[in-house]
Amino acid sequence: MQYDTAFEMASSNIRFGQGTTREIGMDLSELGVKRVMVLTDPHMSELAPVQNVLESLAAEKIEVELFSRVRVEPTDTSLQDAAAFASAGEFDGFVAVGGGSVMDTAKAANLYSSCPPTDFLDYVNAPIGKGLPVPGALKPLFAVPTTAGTGSETTGVVIFDLEEMHAKTGIAHRRLKPTLGIVDPENTRTMPPIIAASTGLDVLTHAVESFTALPFDQRPKPEKPILRPAYQGSNPVSDLWALQAMRIMDENFIRAVENPDDEKARGMMLLAASFAGIGFGNAGVTLPHGMSYPVSGNVKSYHPDGYPGEHPLIPHGMAVVLNAPAAFRFTAPACPEKHLQAAEALGADVSGAGPEDAGEVLAERIQYFMQRLNIPNGLSAVGYSEADVPALVEGTLPQHRVIKLAPREVGREELTEIFKDALKYW
């Protein structure tokens, strides 16, 4: 097998600063956009971030239709609902105001209305779908994050639940990246602590996973450049963004969750989310994310206090971090130096730690954040038992796009042991 010798960096443009949401109308007007679909969720639709966007668009006399049916943790059904609305509306621009679910739904609405496929699964990652590349340019999409977590304003990735499989999958291509991410600290002011904690843990795992992923030059070389995946493996440029995201988190994460009035900490967490997004949007994520998809998709009755909606839900960041300590214990022997670097960037004392300690040191630092922020103690605390492990393993195995980026090869037996380790931590 011939290995790749190149990596490619791509990212959305980012504008960071207080009040930048109010500039969005002028930006779209300068692009010649006349008719916009604004996407958000039912909870956000009456809040200040959405109203500020609508006022900014109205000031530039841009025609708007509001789509507020975005589902938190989208499904294939909810994505197709948004795509149908987009196709019928004949929009020439899109604005997403919300968390990762809203931004991912907007990417899908843009894709499926701009470049309609023969079948919904055509763009979905193989082996679940065909994984076809996006054939042409999409319409302008502006992303306005209201949570400091997913980094979706920087990435060309859509994550959703495929209902018939009870597991998450996704769509990934550089052309899905938003035209501009508006990173405005004002927009996270009303975020409840549990959402701030869960989305922040998504930032943490994005950064650590991309930093410790299989290096880009250990991945098979594609037949032609367009087939080089969005998730290419760790590389020198992504590593810089990931490490800086971890350092920002060490200084600001706890402060931002425990004191929502700390505007500097909230702003820095938004910046960390974008930094980590640039890192993982090009390097990729690995086992904690791959394992999280069946954890979210097979939820039984768990629903965290503070999250909107009534359907059972394990929030994405929570579902990921519940697997992370066990996963990093497993991957550490493949690149212990990087695992120790990640632990140190997150604030761990690594003096005296050797390569054999790397997995445990990193796992303990992640568990510190989990305990401090009242995150459930492993998968057993959200309703899973050892009897559920085989189903969780089967739901993880098809996630080739991410589990094959783990720096250590993983199969059914290895995943079984990692899931068992993740049932309870302390």
Structure confidence at residue 204 as a pLDDT band (50, 70, 90):
very high
Q: What is the pTM of this model?
A: 0.86
Position 167 pLDDT exceeds 80: no
Of 294, 241, 314, 6, whose CA–CA distance to 128 is shortest? Answer: 294
Sequence-ordered list of residues with C-beta below 8 angstroms from that of 310, at least 6 positions apart, any chain: 303
CATH number for the domain harbouring residue 136: 3.40.50.1970
Position 211 pLDDT exceeds 90: yes
Structure confidence at residue 322 as a pLDDT band (50, 70, 90):
very high
Q: Are residues 210 and 339 in the same domain?
A: yes
Question: Is residue 188 one of the residues assigned to a domain?
Answer: no
Position 408 pLDDT exceeds 80: yes
Residue 72 to residue 417: CA distance in whole angstroms: 30
Q: 13 or 411: whose pLDDT is higher?
A: 411
Q: Which of 162, 183, 204 is the last residue of a domain?
A: 183
Q: Which of 121, 148, 183 is the last residue of a domain?
A: 183
Domain that holds residue 179: 19-183
Residue 426 to residue 102: CA distance in whole angstroms: 34
Q: Which of 148, 183, 218 is the last residue of a domain?
A: 183
Q: Are residues 289 and 395 in the same domain?
A: yes
Backbone angles phi, psi at 38, to 5 degrees: -100, 125
* Per-residue model confidence as pLDDT tens digits over 334-364: 999 999 999 999 999 999 999 999 999 999 9
| Residue 214 pLDDT | 98
Residue 121 to residue 410: CA distance in whole angstroms: 26
* Mean confidence (pLDDT) of the chain: 93
Residue 293 contacts residue 167 (beta carbons within 8 Å): yes
Question: Is residue 13 one of the residues assigned to a domain?
Answer: no
CATH number for the domain harbouring residue 276: 1.20.1090.10
Q: Are residues 228 and 317 in the same domain?
A: yes
| Residue 176 pLDDT | 94
| Residue 117 pLDDT | 94
| Residue 379 pLDDT | 98
Structure confidence at residue 229 as a pLDDT band (50, 70, 90):
confident
Domain count along the chain:
2
Q: 168 or 404: whose pLDDT is higher?
A: 404
| Residue 227 pLDDT | 82
| Burial label, 379 (beta-carbon count in 10 A; 0-12, 13-18, 19+) | buried
Question: Is residue 426 one of the residues assigned to a domain?
Answer: no
Q: Are residues 259 and 401 in the same domain?
A: yes
Q: Are residues 205 and 85 in the same domain?
A: no
| Residue 230 pLDDT | 82
* Per-residue model confidence as pLDDT tens digits over 99-156: 889 999 999 999 999 999 999 999 998 888 999 999 999 999 999 999 887 888 988 8
Question: Is residue 12 one of the residues assigned to a domain?
Answer: no
Question: Is residue 136 one of the residues assigned to a domain?
Answer: yes
Structure confidence at residue 163 as a pLDDT band (50, 70, 90):
confident
Q: Are residues 410 and 356 in the same domain?
A: yes
